[in-house]
Amino acid sequence: MFELSRYVTFGQYVNNDSILARMDPRAKLVCAILLIVLVSFLNTFPVFFLCLIFCTILHLASRISIGYILRSLKPFFLFLIIAFIFEVLFYAPARAPHWIWHWWFLGLSWAGITASLLTMIRVIFLYYLATMLTFTTSLVDLTDGLESLVSPLQKLGIPVNALVMVLVIALKFVPIFVNEVERLMKAQAARGLHFDQGNLLQRISKMALLLIPLFVSGFQKVKVLNVAMEARCYGSHRGWHRTKLRALHYKRFDLFALALTIVVCILLITVNILTA
């Protein structure tokens, strides 16, 4: 139970140096958002078949094994099946359909099955696209891309840079704190403490034995990091412009991918309208 750092995973980035992993995070974010918004509006079977072809190409480009993705989907499937059953049974169409089986407000109809099946396929595609984004992009890249995409909001006076900095610091500190909690748990267990026994008050006081050292070390790290960042002149003042160690540049492939995504989007919309 104490090997926290082994089984607590946060972010699922697979760094396999594929084309998708090397893509500019801004371009990747824009593509992903476009596709996700589009997929949530599609509603015919042929268009989802086209989608499947596109996702297969995407998957080949990512060079991630299909089993890995399916394993991450596993806890999701049970939820999907239950949702499917409920949606079919409670399907309430605008006009009276041909019921296969009907009792009070529960009913089984072909229209209901088709509609629910489409919803499920849509949810699976949405989940796949979102997972693909997190599998091929590290969290730091993602926040970098997000920062440069939302930086126009800074001009409106919304502290976007501060928000992104908060996110970056949080993500960088998570592994450190996981180690810290692991060490604290081991230290307390070595003194003979059982974390999963006792009544409510005892449990709270045991929790405090972990939480308070965690916060103390957190506040101490704040002090150290504050001095380090002030010494390097971090801050945002009028006329200051922060540059980056790893500046983002659009490459030819990013523009190609953006163009391809837009073409695919237009194609999908056309097919969707034609087959609706």
Partner 1 sequence: MSNDSIETPRIRPWTLTTERIIIAGVLAAITIILGIVPNLGFIPLPNAVGNATIEHIPTIVSGIVAGPIIGIISGLIFGVLAFFRATDPFFKDPTVSIVPRLFIGLVSWAVFAGLVRINRDLAAAVAGFAGAATNTILVVSALIIRGYFPAAVIIPTVIVQAIFEAVIAAILTVILVRIFYVLEERVVHAPDKKPREQLPY
Q: Would you tell me which residues interact with partner 1 (CB under 8 A)?
A: 4, 8, 10, 79, 83, 159, 162-163, 165-174, 176-178, 181, 195-196, 200, 203-204, 207-208, 210-212, 214-216, 218-223, 225-226, 229-230, 234-235
Shortest Å distance, C-beta 16 to partner 1: 24
Shortest Å distance, C-beta 56 to partner 1: 27
Is the Cβ of residue 164 or residue 264 nearer to partner 1 in the bound state?
164
Shortest Å distance, C-beta 234 to partner 1: 5
Radius of gyration of the chain (CA): 25
> From CA 93, how far away is CA 54, in angstroms rounded?
32
Is the Cβ of residue 223 or residue 249 nearer to partner 1 in the bound state?
223
Report helix angle 25-39 to 110-136, nearest 10.
170
> From CA 39, how far away is CA 43, in angstroms rounded?
9
> From CA 133, how far away is CA 126, in angstroms rounded?
11
Is the Cβ of residue 10 or residue 105 nearer to partner 1 in the bound state?
10
Shortest Å distance, C-beta 164 to partner 1: 10
> From CA 211, how far away is CA 206, in angstroms rounded?
9
Shortest Å distance, C-beta 170 to partner 1: 4
> From CA 192, how far away is CA 239, in angstroms rounded?
57
CB atoms within 10 A of CB 276: 9
Is the Cβ of residue 19 or residue 170 nearer to partner 1 in the bound state?
170
Is the Cβ of residue 73 or residue 168 nearer to partner 1 in the bound state?
168
Is the Cβ of residue 34 or residue 167 nearer to partner 1 in the bound state?
167
CB atoms within 10 A of CB 39: 22
> From CA 133, how far away is CA 55, in angstroms rounded?
12
Shortest Å distance, C-beta 125 to partner 1: 17
Shortest Å distance, C-beta 231 to partner 1: 10
> From CA 151, how far away is CA 244, in angstroms rounded?
14
Shortest Å distance, C-beta 235 to partner 1: 6
Q: Output the DSSP codes for 40-105.
A: TT---HHHHHHHHHHHHHHHHHHT--HHHHHHHHHHHHHHHHHHHHHHHHT---SS---EEEEETT
Is the Cβ of residue 201 or residue 276 nearer to partner 1 in the bound state?
201
Is the Cβ of residue 187 or residue 208 nearer to partner 1 in the bound state?
208
Residue 189 and residue 2 in contact, taking contact as beta carbons nearer than 8 Å: yes
